[in-house]
Structure 1
Amino acid sequence: MAEPGDTARRMLRGRRANAAGREAEAAAAAALAREGWVVLARRARTPAGELDLVAEREGLLAFVEVKARPSLGEAAFALGARQRARLAAAAECWLAANPGHGAAGMRFDVVLVAADGTVRRIADAFRQGE
């Protein structure tokens, strides 16, 4: 049986996690913009799931998953096979709804954000079907 304060604590943790996720996505979007990427979408919802960021530079389309963890090492191991498959399916949905992007190709990037604000992008982090 749940204790009376459990629901409130769970809700507070959820709000904090959401805020931390939004801050990490903003840091990732800013880092991409500094590198010349145009962010086309943030938190893009599709029938197959959500894409954190969709960005394009010189016709190359990147579907970007943002992972915020206490350290870059922990963030690097936070993307499992099921999530990669969901991201690939969401990317297909986004492409179907937004034709005309990715003339130079597409890829999946992961942006790692550590608690100290360090941001590192892993370009072409995985391929569809891996």
Structure 2
Amino acid sequence: MSRRSTNRQRAESEGRGAERWAAWWLRFHGWRIIGQRVRVAAGEVDIIAKRRGIIAFVEVKRRKSAADLDHAIDSYRLRRVVAAANMLAPHYARNREDIRVDVILLAPRRLPRHLVNVTI
């Protein structure tokens, strides 16, 4: 197995772990997880969660240090999540729920940082 392949597998595993941790964080705060790793042509949404008439399309980012979190989400990635959320909204927001895009940022030894209704 190549070094690049091993690094990619490690990154994939860490990303999945971050998404599981973010899902538990959301559940702890009253959200119900209604979708995970949902892919459409426009991109992927890590978590889709519902709480009190709101559907949140959540992007999860994990970095090795808290200092790196400030640069974890950029406009390119956010546009992809927004495009995917727009494609998925009719399926998940059937009862006229409000929809929004959130970001959860994770770093070791830090509580998750939940950014609400992030815009481009």
If the length of structure 1 is used for normalisation, what is the TM-score? 0.84
Post-superposition offset of 1:75 = 2.0
1:23 aligns with one of 8, 17, 20: 17
Post-superposition offset of 1:99 = 4.4
Post-superposition offset of 1:71 = 2.1
1:123 aligns with one of 113, 116, 119: 116
1:97 matched to 2:91: yes
Provide the rounded CA distance (Å) in 1 between the counterparts of 2:59 and 2:96.
Answer: 17
Q: Is the 8 A contact 1:24 1:113 kept in 2?
A: yes
Q: Is the 8 A contact 1:61 1:102 kept in 2?
A: no
Match of 1:54, as an amino acid? Answer: I
Identity between Structure 1 and Structure 2 (%): 34
- Specify whether residues 71 and 116 from structure 1 end up closer, same or farther in structure 2 by C-alpha distance, changes over 3 A only: same
Q: Is the 8 A contact 1:49 1:86 kept in 2?
A: yes
Post-superposition offset of 1:101 = 5.1
Deviating above 4 A after TM superposition, structure 1's stretches of 4 or more consecutive aligned residues are none
Which consecutive unaligned segments of at least 5 residues does structure 1 have?
1-6
Structure 1 residues 88-97 or 47-56, which shifts more? 88-97
RMSD: 1.6
Match of 1:49, as an amino acid? Answer: G
1:80 aligns with one of 74, 77, 83: 74
Provide the rounded CA distance (Å) in 2 between the counterparts of 1:115 and 1:9.
Answer: 24
Post-superposition offset of 1:11 = 0.5
If the length of structure 2 is used for normalisation, what is the TM-score? 0.91
Which consecutive unaligned segments of at least 5 residues does structure 2 have?
none
Post-superposition offset of 1:82 = 1.3
Q: Which residue of 1 aligns with 2:37?
A: 43
